[in-house]
Amino acid sequence: MATVYLHIGAPKTATSTLQHVLAKSFQRLLKNGVLYPRTVGHGSAHHTLVCDLLKAHRGHIMPDIWYGNIPRGETWSLLQSEIEHHEAAIHSVILSSELFFGQVHELEAILKDVANRLVRHDVRVVVYLRRQDELYSSFYNQDVKGIRQWSSSAYRFYQTHQMFEYGYHSVMKIWSDVFGKENLIIRPFEPGQWPHGSIVQDFCDSLGMASLQGSAVENSESLGMIQLYVKRCLNKVGFAKPLNEEILRILYKICPEEPAKGCLYIHKRLYMKYRDQWLQDNLSLSNEYLGQAELFSQPIPNADELQMYELNRYNTALYIRNMFDIFKQGRYRKHRQLFSKATLLVLAEQNLWNALAAHERPELLEWATAID
């Protein structure tokens, strides 16, 4: 039977890059005895496998956007059929979805279900782990930016997101209890530790595969500090998820800004509390799974080494001015109400009413309350 490699992420570790390369290399992989299934892949990943498990074990129904044209509830049967179709020609199967890593609720039951469905195969679990401070900062920024449209604080994000409920060591223990410690392949998300700085090469080497041609890691740029705040306000007002990219393009036009890098989104004392937990977590991970070798070559920085997230009042007022002028010209009219409502939030929360002249404020209010 073929060995099944479950690539489970984690999120924010170039999973999209790897999935794109694997999907693009379908024929080449197949010629070398490796199947990267197509029937359960909407896009380049295999998220539908996890979506069906979430429905079965948690009653959680994922949005249609995850499925495309793949029928709900049938993905594991489709996978089995595809494996059987190629069975004589393959020795390995790669399944990839970072949604696997993002689950902690009912995780043991979910993994036992996966093990049962793959009982005829040897299973190896491949995971890339990113340094926790970088994961937290990047994940929060991207959840505000992306279709999840997070609208609350970074503190609440950490406290309520299930991926942060357990540390790396605890999550890996649940996986190892089901699939065996010896079947975990744990790799660092650190380009300095990859052959030639390539995560594609590192992935292939870790699985004992022939090298694949891969581009550099796709870099999904973070929002800048003011962009992040305005996007949170837009998310609070609310708009349809399929419009997210269009709204972002308008935001970039109104508020051009450099991406925020390595920001500290919470106060320093709380960060240092988290840091102590992360350091202990990494020590436990090292002792139990890595033969006491350190996973990360770069240390988790102290709070004083990081840039605090803060809004520059002048630049925030400049966004308000640009927003009003652009919509006054009649551009992006269909989204004027959304941005007007969000800008009223900015004006009120930041006490920047003087960014607009007294006679302009009623016009902004009129845009925000207009009935089309």
- Which residue in 8, 166, 172, 17 sits closest to 100, CA to CA? 8
Of 1.10.10, 3.90.320, 3.40.50, 1.10.3470, the CATH number of 3-130+166-207 is: 3.40.50
CB 35 within 8 A of CB 86: yes
72 burial class (0-12, 13-18, 19+ CB within 10 angstroms)?
Answer: middle
Q: What is the pLDDT confidence band of residue 55, given thresholds at 50, 70 and 90?
A: very high
How many of the other CB atoms lie within 10 Å of CB of 265? Answer: 21
Percent of the chain with pLDDT over 90: 87
Q: What region does 226 belong to: left with phi over 0, alpha with psi -120 to 50, or beta? A: alpha
Task: Reply yes or no on whether the pLDDT at 215 is more than 60.
Answer: no
Rg of the chain, C-alpha, whole Å: 23
Backbone angles phi, psi at 292, to 5 degrees: 70, 5
Q: 35 has which bridge partners?
A: 93
Q: What is the pLDDT of residue 218?
A: 53
Report the share of the chain in percent with pLDDT over 70.
98
CB-CB contact of 295 with 129 (8 Å): yes
Amino acid 372: pLDDT: 63
Sign for the CA dihedral angle at 62, 58, 146, 26 comes to negative
Q: Does 74 have pLDDT greater than 70?
A: yes
How does DSSP classify residue 149?
A: -
Average model confidence (pLDDT) across the chain: 94
Query: What is the reported pLDDT for 216?
Result: 53
Token match 């995850």: residue?
Answer: 66
Q: What is the pLDDT of residues 275-328, one digit of tens each?
A: 999 999 999 999 999 999 999 999 999 999 999 999 999 999 999 999 999 999
Burial class for 320, CB neighbours closer than 10 Å (0-12, 13-18, 19+): buried
**Region of residue 197 (left: phi > 0; alpha: psi -120 to 50; beta: else):** left
Per the CB < 8 A criterion, the answer to whether 33 and 127 are in contact is no
Question: 10 Å Cβ neighbour count for 251?
Answer: 24
* pLDDT confidence band for 329 (50 / 70 / 90): very high
CB atoms within 10 A of CB 139: 23
pLDDT band at 371 (very low <50, low <70, confident <90, very high): confident
CA dist 223 and 229 (Å) reads 9
Give 79-106 pLDDT, tens digit per residue.
999 999 999 999 999 999 999 998 888 9
Cα 50 from Cα 278, distance rounded (Å): 27
Angle at 131 between CA 125 and CA 133, to 5 degrees: 135
35-46 pLDDT, tens digit each: 999 999 888 999
Measure the CA–CA gap between 233 and 144, rounded to whole angstroms: 10
- Reading the block at residue 240, the tokens are 């349809």
- By C-alpha distance, which of 168, 148, 202 is closest to 21? 202
Separation of alpha carbons 346 and 142, rounded Å: 20
- Predicted pLDDT at 60: 85
Residue written as tokens 């390595």?
A: 262
pTM: predicted TM-score of the whole model, two decimal places: 0.89
